[in-house]
Structures are given as structure tokens and as C-alpha cells.
Amino acid sequence: MTCGKPVRLDFHSSFDMLEFVQVVCDHVGRMSGLDEDAIHWVSVAVRESVINAIKHGNAQDASKRVHVEFTPLDGEQPGIAIRVRDEGCGFDPAALPDPLAPENILKSTGRGIFLIRTFMDELVLQRAPQGGMEVMMVKRVQPQQV
């Protein structure tokens, strides 16, 4: 794989695909120059976004698809850009409850996007032009400590 060439996955809404998506994510992360810690956190963020796409976006409808794209970034700020898109009706990111609010702190759900925001360097949540919701994330290679 040459740096800069995207890897695209397009699959039916099935949790069975999570392991495959993770393997591809880890491989592209290594090819992009991420260290093992960064690869782990990117993998967690991608897993959360794919689960959200299947569970919430596509409502586990096997006839709907999840679209994932990994693009290695080269140049001055190398890293990896990832897009995850579902085919659901979307949501308003501003309307998401704060998982750190006292009334939500003990809930067992509702932290996925919070975690993605924490682990990634950039995050954009938007309705996709093709329909559905799109999560765009970037993780940059950290400079070597001397």
C-alpha cells in the first residue's frame, strides 16, 4: 500500500465485521507511522464509530451498509484520516447529552463519541451528502521524543 491511497470497506450492518475492520485499521495505522499506543487508541475510536453506525445509525438493519475509509496522511503532518458513514437518518451532535454531567455519570452508555473525541486529534460529525451520518477522524504521528 502506498502512502496516501485510501482503503475502503463497505459492508452490511453486522457486528461480525468489527474484527476485520480492526485488523485493517491496525495495518493502515502502522503503514501511516503511528506508534503502538496511537494504533490502540485509533482502533478503539474506529470500533466505537462502527458500533455506533451499526447500532444507532443503521438500527442494526442488515440491508443498510456501513462505509469505512482509511487514508494514510503524508507530508508535514503524517498520520491517518478515517471516515465512517452509516445509511441512517442521522442526528444532531449538539443534542448529545454530556456524559460527564452528574445525571449521566453512572450510565453505562453514551460515552462513545466522548471517547472518540478524547483519543483522536480531530473529529467532525456531520450528515453525509449521500445520506446518513459521517464521522471523520484524524490521528497524527507524534514527533519522536529525544
More confident residue, 39 or 91: 39
The pair phi, psi for residue 145, each rounded to 5°, is -80, 135
Residue (of 113, 98, 93, 105) closest to 45 by Cα position: 113
pLDDT for the residue 130: 87
* pLDDT in the model for residue 70: 97
pLDDT at 2 over 60: no
**Grid coordinates given for 5:** 491511497
Phi and psi at 26, nearest 5°, equal: -60, -40
User: From CA 54, how far away is CA 46, in angstroms rounded?
Assistant: 12
Task: Give residue 1's pLDDT.
Answer: 35
Q: Over the chain, what is the mean pLDDT?
A: 89
Mean pLDDT on 70-99: 87
Q: At what angle do helices 18-31 and 36-52 cross, to 10 degrees?
A: 140
Best CA proximity match to 66, nearest among 131, 110, 111, 144? 131
Percent of the chain residues past pLDDT 90, beyond the cut: 70
Residue in the structure block whose three cell numbers are 478524547: 118
Q: What are phi and psi of 96, to 5 degrees?
A: -65, 135
